[in-house]
Structure 1
Amino acid sequence: MFVVHENFEYFLKSYSPVFPTEKPGDSQIERLEKILPGSLMEFIRRYGLVAFHGGLFQLCDPDEFRSVLALIFGADSDFHHKDCHVVGYSAFGVLQCWSDKYFKFEIELPLGVAYCRALTLPGWKLAASADHIASAVVPDREEADFLDVDGIPMFDRCVEKYGPLRQGECFGFVPALAISGAFGPMQRVDNIQRMPALEHFSILAQLEQFQLATLTPTEVVPVRPIG
């Protein structure tokens, strides 16, 4: 039996958790135990699929979003939706994913990019155990928030304008940034709507071909198309 990892204990104390009304049942726990590391599973077993930062980031059941990964990955040579798992997502559609092969990686749905250090960092080597890496799956508030065209965080203003998110909801740009243009004038709170996360994420997954990319201090650098 695992104890709750100290990172998760910190998240509970410092990241404004929002607890679900129901915890996962035995069958759901048994299913998730087959695909997720022990540290993450022990947290989910005890507390459920918790949201953090007042709803800015939500843990989720990977099977709920497997169809989204299938749309993004297609027939990609490195990624497959059956062995990659969405374990959480931000209010604006940044997916935190887990893979036994690549461990933690991220898909930024609004921008159509995926970041996976195991595939883009030359000489990448595992620096810690799977349990320790999985315990860092919850981003801090600054990292989880999304910036408008002026570089100002959007979440608190979206909550004020549209109300707090319920479990399974997200804030989506209308029109999507894949249509209106990322970092353009439509990237504002006024162009946000509250909507079901799975529905919106499925639409974003089909609007453009995603790119495996790396981040520099000033830009997103595409490495190759995905799919």
Structure 2
Amino acid sequence: MRITENKKFEWFLKKFGSPIHSQIATQETIEKYRNRLPDALIDCWTEYGFCSFLDGLFQIVNPEIYKETIPTWLKGTGLLEIDTFHVFARSGFGELFLWGEKTGQHFNIEILEGSIFDNGSDENYINKEGSSEAILNFFTVLKPSSLDIEDINTEEPIFQYAIDRLGALADDEMFTFEPAPFLGGEQTFKAVNKVNFFIQNEILASMGQREIMDIKCLANKAFGK
């Protein structure tokens, strides 16, 4: 079955539209990650390549290009000892979505926050239903609004404003705030800028913050507990 014939991925495409900036996934890359990443993701690469949606708000990426970002953020956290992780997608604000070979979409790296978000392990689900069903669930629940960031003063989404002012994102670009929020910057329209993702990643990762967060931690942080 082609990935576009899958109902879960079809729902993803209804929300995100047709892909842009597609780059062909070579057979070498496909074979390297076969049996390490879900078949459904490999099928997506085969049909669409590595591509962007909504002017770069969401990208399905080549994990080979992003492999150095994982130890940069996860070294010293203990997470590298529990699973083997690969970056399979990212947002226009640099949020990295990781796939663990055993635990699935367990962690995101939120580089503008200097933190690692714990979604909870998918290991039990994967063992029962398979990795393809697990990653298709990720695509099903993903929403454009969940990838956007709001101005802290107006509560208005920033991404479209940034596109209008700075232009659509290339494959190696992201929007950031200067300075980044975890360095004291503010998420505002006036602070947004477009930068090279890999340079920005290296700069922010070098600042040393490695806070692992989950839903409970975020709630406590939001309400000052």
User: Compared with structure 1, are the counterparts of its residues 60 and 22 closer, same or farther at alpha carbon in structure 2 (3 Å cutoff)?
Assistant: closer
1:39 is matched with 40
TM-score (norm 2): 0.83
- Percent identical pairs in the alignment equals 22
Check if 1:163 corresponds to 2:167.
yes
TM-score (norm 1): 0.83
Is the 8 Å Cα contact of residues 67 and 81 (structure 1) preserved in structure 2? Answer: no
Q: What's the offset of the Cα at 1:132?
A: 1.2
Determine the C-alpha separation between the residues in 2 that align with 1:210 and 1:217: 14
What aligned pairs does 1:49-198 form with structure 2 within 5 A after superposition?
Answer: 49-79=50-80, 83-104=84-105, 105-118=107-120, 125-126=124-125, 128-138=129-139, 139-150=142-153, 151-181=155-185, 186-198=186-198
Task: Tell me the alpha carbon deviations over residues 26-47 of structure 1, each in whole angstroms, 9 at most, x when there is no partner.
Answer: 1122123242100111011111
Aligned residues: 214
Letter in 1 for 2:2: V
Runs of 4+ in 1 over 3 A off after TM superposition: none
Letter in 1 for 2:8: N
Determine the C-alpha separation between the residues in 2 that align with 1:32 and 1:63: 9
Letter in 1 for 2:147: A
1:208 is matched with 208
Is the 8 Å Cα contact of residues 177 and 192 (structure 2) preserved in structure 1? Answer: yes
Is the 8 Å Cα contact of residues 39 and 134 (structure 1) preserved in structure 2? Answer: yes
Secondary structure of 1:207's counterpart equals: coil
Secondary structure of 1:107's counterpart equals: strand
User: Compared with structure 1, are the counterparts of its residues 118 and 143 closer, same or farther at alpha carbon in structure 2 (3 Å cutoff)?
Assistant: same
Determine the C-alpha separation between the residues in 2 that align with 1:63 and 1:91: 19
Is the 8 Å Cα contact of residues 150 and 158 (structure 2) preserved in structure 1? Answer: yes
Secondary structure of 1:135's counterpart equals: helix
Is the deviation greater in 80-89 or in 30-39? 80-89
Letter in 2 for 1:174: E
Determine the C-alpha separation between the residues in 2 that align with 1:133 and 1:34: 14
Letter in 2 for 1:62: P
| Structure number having the greater helix percentage | 2
Is the deviation greater in 164-173 or in 133-142? 133-142
User: Compared with structure 1, are the counterparts of its residues 220 and 144 closer, same or farther at alpha carbon in structure 2 (3 Å cutoff)?
Assistant: farther
Q: What's the offset of the Cα at 1:14?
A: 3.1
Q: What's the offset of the Cα at 1:12?
A: 2.6
Is the 8 Å Cα contact of residues 148 and 189 (structure 1) preserved in structure 2? Answer: yes
**What do you get for the CA RMSD once the two structures are aligned?**
2.7
Task: Give unmatched runs, 5+ long, in structure 2.
Answer: none
Task: Give unmatched runs, 5+ long, in structure 1.
Answer: 222-227
